Amino acid sequence: MTSEILLKYFPEITAEQLKQFEQLPELYTHWNNQINVISRKDIDQLYERHVLHSLGIAKVMAFKPGEKVLDVGTGGGFPGVPLAIMFPQTQFHLVDSIGKKIKVVTEVAKALGLQNLKATHARAEQIDGKFDFVVSRAVTRLKEFYPWVKGKFNKQSGNVLPNGILYLKGGDLNEEIAESGLAVQQFYLKNYFDEEFFETKQVIYVKV
């Protein structure tokens, strides 16, 4: 497994960031053997299916220093861990309702020395605090997701897109978007990444 794919799309990453990304396969292989957070067949494709996919959000949004981002239903740390490596001056709060997944995230963040990441075992609905953005992947439909997070945003926006949700989704989303009743903006990851995996993948942005 090679990290070249990351440099191909993010040539600006520093040597320190590259070193952190390059620690991920070993860390996730180790932790996945104890607590399953990534499907076995996907672990060989960690960079493409998990790291690069998570960084699809970075193609849409450059988080600023000091901004706060909540990752809801982070599982083993996606998209929050790759984003925390990518934006070391932004504060990331990763939450999941399953404690052993948060254990993996905590251990991975510790091994990487990530100072800007906090991981909490909780349901999204129970999290207090205000954030600039909420990110997520593969947790639930937008209609259900939106009420969990809509009260958790700072009123003041300071980025190119106003504060809101950046959700990684794939497949045909017309029905899901329509049933949510939300106005969304769709960013297609195939415009940024050549690999077939990204053919139907999108970042859905919801302004709150």
From the centroid of its chain, how far is CA 137?
Answer: 7
Alpha helices in the chain (DSSP H): 4-9, 15-34, 40-43, 53-60, 80-86, 99-112, 142-149, 174-180
Q: How far is the CB of 145 from ligand SAM (least distance, A)?
A: 9
Scanning residues 44 to 83, which ones bind ligand SAM (CB under 6 A)? 72-76, 78
* Residue 19 or 141 having the CB closest to ligand SAM: 141
Q: Is 62 annotated as a binding residue?
A: no
Q: Rule CB under 6 A: is residue 139 a binding residue for ligand SAM?
A: yes
The sheet with strand 91-96 has its strands ordered as 117-121, 91-96, 68-72, 133-137, 164-169, 202-207, 184-188
Give min distance, CB of 23 to ligand SAM, in A: 18
Q: How far is the CB of 127 from ligand SAM (least distance, A)?
A: 8
- Select the span of 55-63, 105-113, 135-143, 189-197 touching ligand SAM (CB under 6 A): 135-143
Q: Which of residues 95-114 bind ligand SAM (CB under 6 A)?
A: 95-98, 101
# binding residues, ligand SAM (CB under 6 A): 16
Q: Establish whether 178 is an annotated binding residue.
A: no
For residue 176, what are the CA distances in angstroms to 34, 75, 180, 188?
A: 35, 22, 6, 16
Among 138, 147, 179, 194, binds ligand SAM (CB under 6 A): 138
> 176 labelled as ligand-binding?
no
Which H helix or E strand runs over 120? Answer: strand 117-121
Beta bridge partners of 204: 167, 186
DSSP string covering 9-20: H-TT--HHHHHH
> SS3 for 181?
coil
Q: Which is nearer to ligand SAM, 137 or 152 (CB)?
A: 137
Q: Determine the length of the chain.
A: 208
Complex with ligand SAM: residue 95 or 208, whichever CB lies closer: 95
Contact residues: ligand SAM, CB under 6 A: 72-76, 78, 95-98, 101, 123-124, 137-139
From the annotation, which residues make up the binding site? 73, 78, 124-125, 137
